[in-house]
């Protein structure tokens, strides 16, 4: 598949954006009759160019102040910008706002096309280019290449294509998250096909036949057909411009601003958490609780702004904020956005979502704010750990983390592992601080159980997890970690402190009776009495047998008819295993009859014993023969 790059074409009205795109690609991006009549771009236009490196998708944005909303919907999905500045006019007010917008969206890579060079003299062009370079540097675009070009004569087009091609080397490839997200910038109906939507694929790959969802409406959809650059395709990659023919429920009307996503991935929520950076070249401040216009994907909505750590956000400042969505809406975590004031219309800030399925965070909660700040940082490990920490003792999953950050699962696993988080084989995650807090609680609970029940080997796994008040996946993670580091022991379903001996809590008389019982059971090795026989002698032996089973000294095994429950002693089992392994070291095989003769026991005892060894994976059975493993 070709390398591809999405480039937004921006700049002041009448600075030659559409003419330049046509000169580069041969494609007229003004689709509407009124656009062509007035020479004014009103809606987003699209074209593409094949270079020596790959395919460039151009998104031609309106330059007039009345259509900034449309420009933003195109800019939120781009990788870089082609900024058109007319040589005869220089940087104009709308150019500045467009540059402010892409800067707030985190788009730092751009090429400046100094257009209409045929309208100025060579000396004036040099002066203008120097002045523009200085002005751009003050706005943070000092590294942008400035390429003089004339779309009418073709002068400079080759140099411009080369500068645009250089952007491929600088870009960060969009990861395939395994989940797709496509905001609609166009929706229309085609005879014979039905509903068609277009947009820039923000996350994941999309394939023909994929089941999908329109999360804004909560309805299902299916991908019937795909087009990329006007050609039918089976698959679209992250970042590509795509047209999608959808099958939706009868009567459903889709519209621009909605989106398509993997089923169940995005959910509507009232609270969204984000980082908000205020523009530096403005005079407006935002007050906590103020309604603002939020532009994300291809959508604009009015929301209430909550600034978590202060009352006012001033020009140049940044903060963790929450947007209250009424009604609840859905979007992708990691997507970028722009904030504009309601009246007068002014672009004042922008940023990136941290969690579009958040809960209301208490203002001035320093611990919560610190975690959110860490999650918003450029240090991926710290950010990943902070998000895991926010999940609390219930934990999260690698899949959810990968979706949250828009990055492969293995990258998230690497960051979490380096940060000492706990991760289960199934992908459940516990942050380090949560894991340590739960570990200390678990140890105290097990110790308290030993004090309350000194003759029991430990607390059951289920009881311990319930007392911790956490999910089973989190409980299993904590218990496994404590057993691995030697603080606790797992004996079947019982969890106890390492080295704890319930027999030590018995008085001398009772210990003596238990020892006598063990000796009685071992009188004839590997041919032990049944539970019924032991209890017939003394009913009080029931609690003693239970204790010996819990401590792993006795192993109760049914015969093949499940009529007799034999009480094998663990020492006898271990000795039998040693003897059989010496007689038939792997890969040697043995049969039940051979083992019976070797050990000198009858089939009714040996068969349950060998089946027990199979279950414990000490031996492996193949038809009528067995072999020791390892």
Residue ranges of the alpha helices (H) in 299-431? 366-376, 380-390, 398-405, 409-418
pLDDT in tens, 95-132: 888 888 888 888 888 999 999 999 989 999 999 999 99
More confident residue, 74 or 297: 297
Instruction: List pLDDT tens digits, range 576-598.
Output: 999 999 999 999 999 999 999 99
Instruction: Please identify which residue in the block is written with the tokens 């020596």.
Output: 52
Q: Please list, in sequence order, all residues whose beta carbon lies within 8 angstroms of the beta carbon of residue 197, skipping any fewer than 6 positions away.
A: 182, 184, 186, 187, 243, 244, 246, 254, 260
User: Using one digit for the tens of pLDDT, what is the confidence trace for 601-616?
Assistant: 999 999 999 999 999 9
Other CB atoms within 10 A of residue 607 CB:
16
Q: What is the DSSP letter of 173?
A: P
Of residues 198 and 404, more confidently modeled? 198
Q: Which residues contact 591 (CB under 8 A, 6 or more apart)?
A: 624, 625, 626
How do residues 170-185 score in pLDDT, each as one tens digit?
Answer: 777 776 667 899 999 8
pLDDT in tens, 425-472: 999 999 999 999 999 999 999 999 988 888 788 899 999 999 999 999
Close Cβ partners of 111 (under 8 Å, ≥ 6 residues apart) = 80, 81, 82, 83, 144, 145, 147, 160, 163, 164, 167
Q: What is the pLDDT of residues 469-479, one digit of tens each?
A: 999 999 999 99
3-state secondary structure 575-604: HHHHHHHHHCCCCCCEEHHHHHHHHCCCHH
pLDDT of residue 265: 86
Topology alike, domains 3-170 and 516-628: no
pTM score > 0.75 for this model?
A: no
Q: What is the pLDDT of residue 42?
A: 46
Q: How far is CA 195 from CA 224, 228, 426, 445, in A?
A: 10, 16, 39, 60
pLDDT exceeds cutoff 80 at 370: no
Distance CA 215, CA 235 (A): 22
Q: What is the CATH number of domain 181-261?
A: 2.40.30.10
Cα separations (Å) of 531 from 27, 435, 475, 516, 538? 88, 42, 34, 16, 11
Residue 2 confidence (pLDDT): 64
Residue 225, strand partner residues: 245
Token digits of residue 515: 């020892």
Q: State whether the Cα torsion 152-158-163-164 is positive or negative.
A: positive
Instruction: Lay out the sheet containing 396-397: strands in order across.
Output: 396-397, 428-430, 422-423
Say if CB 213 and CB 261 are below 8 A apart.
yes
Please report, to the nearest 10 degrees, the dihedral formed by the alpha carbons of residues 598, 603, 606, 612 taken in order.
140
CATH architecture of 516-628: Orthogonal Bundle (1.10)
- Note whether 498 and 489 are within 8 A (CB): yes
pLDDT of 1 reads: 46
Q: What is the largest CA-CA distance in the chain?
A: 116
Domain spans of the chain, in order of start: 3-170, 181-261, 377-500, 516-628
Highest mean pLDDT out of 55-69, 126-140, 359-373: 126-140
Dihedral sign of CA atoms 29, 31, 36, 39 in order: negative
**Residue 13: its pLDDT value, please?**
79
For 30-70, how does the pLDDT look when each residue is reduced to its tens digit (9 = 90+)? 655 554 554 444 457 788 888 888 888 888 876 545 456 67
CATH superfamily of 3-170: P-loop containing nucleotide triphosphate hydrolases (3.40.50.300)
What's the mean per-residue pLDDT of the chain? Answer: 87
Strands 3-11 and 54-60: parallel
Q: What is the CATH number of domain 377-500?
A: 1.10.10.10
Give the 3-state secondary structure of residue 525: coil
Residue 94 CB partners (closer than 8 Å, separation 6+): 11, 12, 13, 63, 64, 65, 68
Give pLDDT tens digits for 516-539.
Answer: 888 889 999 899 999 888 888 788
């Amino acid at each position: 598949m070709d390398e591809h790059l999405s480039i937004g074409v921006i700049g002041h009205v009448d600075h030659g954006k559409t003419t330049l795109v046509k000169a580069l690609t041969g494609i007229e991006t003004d689709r509407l009759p009124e656009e062509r009549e007035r020479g004014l771009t009103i809606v987003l236009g699209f074209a593409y160019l094949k270079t020596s490196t790959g395919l460039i998708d151009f998104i031609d944005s309106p330059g007039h102040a009345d259509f900034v909303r449309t420009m933003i919907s195109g800019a939120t999905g781009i990788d870089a910008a082609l900024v058109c500045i007319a040589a005869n006019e220089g940087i104009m007010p709308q150019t500045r706002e467009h540059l402010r917008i892409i800067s707030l969206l985190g788009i730092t890579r751009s090429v400046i096309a100094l257009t209409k060079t045929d309208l100025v003299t060579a000396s004036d062009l040099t002066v203008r280019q120097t002045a523009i370079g200085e002005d751009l540097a003050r706005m943070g675009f000092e590294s942008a290449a400035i390429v003089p070009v004339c779309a009418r004569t073709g002068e400079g087009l080759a140099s411009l294509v080369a500068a645009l091609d250089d952007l491929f080397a600088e870009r960060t490839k969009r990861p395939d998250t395994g989940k797709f997200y496509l905001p609609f910038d166009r929706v229309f109906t085609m005879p014979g096909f039905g509903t068609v939507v277009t947009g820039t694929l923000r996350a994941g790959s999309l394939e023909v036949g994929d089941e999908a969802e329109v999360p804004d409406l909560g309805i299902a959809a299916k991908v019937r057909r795909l087009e990329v650059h006007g050609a039918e395709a089976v698959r679209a990659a992250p970042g590509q411009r795509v047209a999608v023919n959808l099958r939706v429920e009868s009567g459903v009307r889709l519209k621009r601003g909605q989106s398509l996503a993997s089923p169940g991935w995005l959910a509507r929520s009232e609270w969204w958490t984000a980082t908000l950076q205020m523009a530096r070249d403005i005079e407006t401040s935002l007050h906590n609780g103020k309604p603002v216009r939020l532009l994300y994907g291809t959508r604009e909505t009015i929301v209430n702004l909550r600034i978590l750590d202060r009352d006012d956000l001033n020009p140049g400042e940044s903060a963790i904020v929450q947007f209250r969505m009424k009604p609840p809406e859905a979007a992708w975590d990691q997507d970028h956005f722009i904030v504009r004031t309601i009246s007068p219309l002014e672009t004042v800030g922008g940023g990136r979502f941290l969690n579009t399925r958040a809960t209301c965070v208490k203002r001035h909660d320093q611990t919560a704010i610190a975690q959110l700040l860490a999650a918003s940082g450029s240090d991926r490990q710290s950010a990943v750990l902070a998000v895991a920490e926010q999940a609390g003792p219930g934990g999260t999953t690698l899949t959810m983390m990968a979706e949250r950050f828009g990055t492969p699962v293995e990258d998230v696993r690497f960051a979490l592992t380096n940060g000492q988080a706990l991760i289960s084989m199934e992908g459940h995650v516990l942050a380090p601080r949560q894991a340590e807090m739960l570990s200390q609680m678990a140890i105290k609970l097990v110790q308290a159980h030993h004090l309350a029940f000194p003759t029991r080997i430990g607390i059951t796994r289920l009881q311990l997890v319930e007392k911790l008040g956490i999910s089973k996946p989190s409980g299993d993670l904590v218990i496994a970690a404590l057993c691995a580091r030697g603080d606790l022991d797992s004996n079947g379903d019982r969890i106890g402190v390492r080295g704890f001996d319930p027999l030590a809590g018995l008085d001398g008389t009772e210990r003596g009776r238990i020892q006598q019982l063990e000796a009685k059971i071992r009188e004839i090795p590997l041919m032990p009495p049944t539970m019924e026989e032991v209890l017939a002698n003394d009913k009080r032996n029931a609690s003693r047998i239970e204790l010996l089973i819990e401590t792993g000294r006795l192993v109760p095994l049914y015969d093949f008819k499940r009529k007799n429950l034999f009480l094998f002693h663990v020492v006898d089992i271990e000795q039998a295993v040693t003897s059989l392994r010496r007689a038939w070291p792997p890969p040697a095989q043995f049969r039940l009859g051979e083992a019976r003769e070797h050990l000198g026991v009858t089939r009714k005892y040996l068969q349950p014993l060998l089946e027990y060894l199979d279950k414990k994976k000490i031996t492996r059975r193949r038809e009528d023969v067995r072999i020791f493993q390892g």
